[in-house]
């Protein structure tokens, strides 16, 4: 069965300036062409563009819905190299990640990769270092009334 890795990146919001490009449409197309050519050079195949709703915070308690344009790319699992290992359940697991290999920190892993989580260390009781100030107890309510 063919396996794919997917990568979703935000679509450009502005065009890029270049010699001979006068209109905003030409500049935007140039920016999009550059993004697609960079992704294609890394082995990613363009699939589609999606516009999805995103709830954003406004102020302290409010929220609003905006829409984000995203570009979806995929590549074959065989092109991923030795960083991907198939588990007994048929899932792919990332065995090593290089910094910046999946784009921005918000997109740190592909959708189908399940990186194993390291167990959290078990912490013991806190020890007071020598020479430290003693712990403070509750405030004296009689003192606060004065």
Question: CA Rg, the chain, in Å?
Answer: 26
pLDDT attached to residue 111: 41
Report the SS3 class of residue 130.
Answer: coil
pLDDT attached to residue 112: 42
Domain count, the chain: 1
pLDDT attached to residue 78: 76
pLDDT attached to residue 115: 40
Nearest Cα residue to 39 out of 71, 69, 68: 71
**Counts of helices then strands in the chain (DSSP H, E):** 2, 5
Q: Does residue 87 belong to any structural domain of this protein?
A: yes
Q: Does residue 36 belong to any structural domain of this protein?
A: yes
pLDDT attached to residue 56: 94
Torsion of CA 22, 27, 30, 32, to 10 degrees: -160
Strands 92-94 and 84-86: antiparallel
- Report the C-alpha gap between 50 and 34 in whole angstroms: 19
Range of the domain at 29: 4-116
Q: CA 34, 40, 44, 48 torsion: positive or negative?
A: positive
Q: Per-residue pLDDT for the chain (146 aa), expressed as one digit of tens each?
A: 889 999 999 999 999 999 999 999 999 999 999 999 999 999 999 999 999 999 999 999 999 999 999 999 999 987 555 455 555 445 455 544 444 444 443 343 344 443 444 444 455 555 555 665 655 656 666 655 55
Q: Does residue 91 belong to any structural domain of this protein?
A: yes
Q: Does residue 130 belong to any structural domain of this protein?
A: no
- Report the C-alpha gap between 134 and 99 in whole angstroms: 44
Q: Does residue 134 belong to any structural domain of this protein?
A: no
């Amino acid at each position: 069965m063919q396996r794919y890795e997917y990568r979703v990146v935000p679509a450009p919001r502005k065009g890029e300036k270049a010699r001979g490009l006068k209109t905003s449409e030409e500049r935007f197309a140039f920016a999009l062409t550059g993004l697609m050519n960079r992704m294609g050079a890394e082995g990613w195949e363009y699939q589609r563009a999606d516009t999805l709703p995103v709830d954003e915070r406004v102020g302290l308690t409010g929220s609003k819905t905006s829409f984000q344009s995203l570009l979806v790319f995929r590549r074959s699992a065989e092109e991923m190299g030795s960083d991907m290992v198939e588990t007994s359940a048929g899932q792919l697991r990332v065995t090593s990640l290089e910094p910046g290999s999946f784009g921005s920190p918000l997109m740190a892993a592909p959708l189908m990769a399940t990186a194993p989580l390291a167990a959290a260390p078990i912490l013991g009781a806190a020890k007071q270092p020598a020479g430290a100030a003693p712990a403070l107890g509750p405030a004296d309510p009689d003192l606060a009334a004065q």
